[in-house]
Structure 1
Amino acid sequence: MRRMWLTAVLGPLLVACATTPPVPLGTACEQGDAWACDSLGGALLQQGERESADAAFGRACEDGILSACRAQARMRMEAGDLVGAEPPLLRAYEAADEEGTLVLADLHEARGGAEGLEAAARLRREAPALDKPAFEFVASYRMDVSNGLGSDVTLNIQPLGMMERRLTFGANVAFISAGASELNGFVGYQHFVSSWLVPYGRVMLGAALDAAPGQNGPNIGAEVGAKLCLGSIGHLNLAAGSSRASPGYVSMGLGLDGLIVLIAAAHAL
């Protein structure tokens, strides 16, 4: 009886849902669906209705659909409207969109002149680094050939203004199970092979906090490694290095956006 009652009540509803036609893209776009506007722009462009496609892409771009910003800009660049192509690309650039930033670089290059070429080169350097955090905390486990297992915490500061995040500086503290712990400052350089692969090198200078007698003095060292980036969240870190207190070590860790770490710490207090 209960099953018959459910069937009688739900049956018409299911049939109604199955037979309700989808909302046309144009109607959905007018109702404020940004993704529908993006899809509508693509459909109109395929039909050759470039003016209407431009308007649809523009609505989607204003609502934060970066693919629509890029599509609108490319349409305008193809039509020779470099001035009109710039606003949607600036929106993509401000949203740290790598692909949109590269299209903006193409636009500056198309304008020509020394200023345009210089701006294009700068944007191409910035593009893979835009969505990376300005500073990050890295927690790592390490294996030292002489002192065994340990761990370290690193503060890595990489502002966009320092050669598009290529130059870095910061500090790290290492805790070694069978040797002297370290506190070091460092400066380094990192190279953006792509937006997700960033090899780096750094030189360190600090002190061994609990060095054995006769081992006092500055702790000098160097480290090389690679970041497997996770966009604005952080990265996975693989490294190998050597210092006076740790003659040879390898480490693996996780880096997180410093703002995320500070907010989490504030909530925990």
Structure 2
Amino acid sequence: MVDVLGVRWLVVLLPLVTAACATSAAYHPQKDCAAGSAGACVDWGDALKARGELPQAETAYGQACEGGISTSCITQGQLLMKRGELDAAEHPLRKAYLEEFPEAHEALADLYQARGSPNDLEIAEELRFEAPAIDKPAVEYVSHFRVDSRGGVGTAVTLNVQPMLFLSRRLDIGFHAAFSFGSGTSELNGFIGYQHFASTWLVPYARVMIGGLPGMPPGYALNYGGDLGLKLCLGPIGHLEFAVGSSRGSPLHASVGLGLNAIFLLLAAR
């Protein structure tokens, strides 16, 4: 499932990009929607919604939804919910939910919240817990630039594993390797951490690590420490992160890192 997230995003965005590029004088959203253009149905739905013709807008968004534009499934479902058609709203919302969009999880949670039974409320809570993490990669590769308290510079790489089964990506484990150009010290560590999804794009985290210092004499090779950081996420693509930390090998350091979905590395290696 993870290895096709990027492809799914392209499939969802392509009809929208195609619609945005439709500059022909013959372009007519209503007629082109009736002719089977999902992108035109989005434009026609937007126009109808702006004019307050909501039932007709629902139909247009429904056609766009069936044409593969998941954001229109969400809009159609929300319009149906506004007029109390909860059962009818579930199909388009669930269609978008299966495409793993945070907004779809939130909209489906609103539907279960509106139904109001204890079981529905529990499902709504679970959906909201999953929502900000659902579109993030299960495995990330991160390249860091580091500066320590003495002004020395270095680099580091992190392989971060964060599947949904780890409390919806709240827990993460992985491997971390660092090298200081000034001291020549290198570190090889394993870590475990906790991530807090403040939003779909803002994720502070804390990690503890333990490992070794290759090349150090016996009795001095054990390494341990931790990091506090902040990720600025871009869905399934990756993130930019800032962190401060300390370990035996590098007592105090700050870093900036660029993380990418590890599937991109696998694709590049083919």
TM-score tier (shorter): 0.7 to 0.9
Matched, 1:82 2:83: no
When residues 38 and 150 of structure 1 are mapped into structure 2, their CA distance, relative to the original with a 3 A threshold, is: same
Q: Distance in 2 between matches of 1:252 and 1:225?
A: 9
When residues 238 and 49 of structure 1 are mapped into structure 2, their CA distance, relative to the original with a 3 A threshold, is: closer
Q: How big is the shift at 1:212?
A: 4.8
When residues 77 and 169 of structure 1 are mapped into structure 2, their CA distance, relative to the original with a 3 A threshold, is: same
Matched, 1:145 2:149: yes
Picking from 22, 40, 45, the partner of 2:44 is 40
Letter in 2 for 1:257: N
When residues 141 and 47 of structure 1 are mapped into structure 2, their CA distance, relative to the original with a 3 A threshold, is: closer
* Bigger Cα displacement from structure 2, 42-51 vs 23-32: 42-51
Partner of 1:16: none
Contact 1:146 1:247 (8 Å CA) reproduced: no
Partner of 1:99: 103
> Cα deviation per residue 1:25-73 (whole Å; 9 max; x = unaligned)?
2210122221211222233445565544332211101222233212211
> Cα deviation per residue 1:191-230 (whole Å; 9 max; x = unaligned)?
11111111100000111112256523x2111110111112
Q: What value does the CA root-mean-square deviation take over the aligned residues?
A: 2.0
When residues 167 and 242 of structure 1 are mapped into structure 2, their CA distance, relative to the original with a 3 A threshold, is: same
When residues 145 and 45 of structure 1 are mapped into structure 2, their CA distance, relative to the original with a 3 A threshold, is: closer
Matched, 1:126 2:130: yes
Q: Percent identity?
A: 48
SS at 2:61 equivalent: helix
Partner of 1:4: none
Q: Which one has a bigger Cα radius of gyration?
A: 1
Q: Distance in 1 between matches of 2:255 and 2:51?
A: 55
Q: How big is the shift at 1:263?
A: 1.3
Aligned residues: 246
TM-score with structure 1 length normalisation?
A: 0.85
TM-score with structure 2 length normalisation?
A: 0.84
Give ranges in structure 1 of 5+ residues lacking alignment. Answer: 1-19
SS at 1:168 equivalent: strand
When residues 74 and 64 of structure 1 are mapped into structure 2, their CA distance, relative to the original with a 3 A threshold, is: same
When residues 181 and 23 of structure 1 are mapped into structure 2, their CA distance, relative to the original with a 3 A threshold, is: closer
Partner of 2:69: 65
Q: How big is the shift at 1:139?
A: 0.6
When residues 40 and 240 of structure 1 are mapped into structure 2, their CA distance, relative to the original with a 3 A threshold, is: same
Partner of 2:195: 190
SS at 1:251 equivalent: strand
Picking from 206, 209, 218, the partner of 1:201 is 206
Q: How big is the shift at 1:102?
A: 1.0
Contact 1:226 1:239 (8 Å CA) reproduced: yes
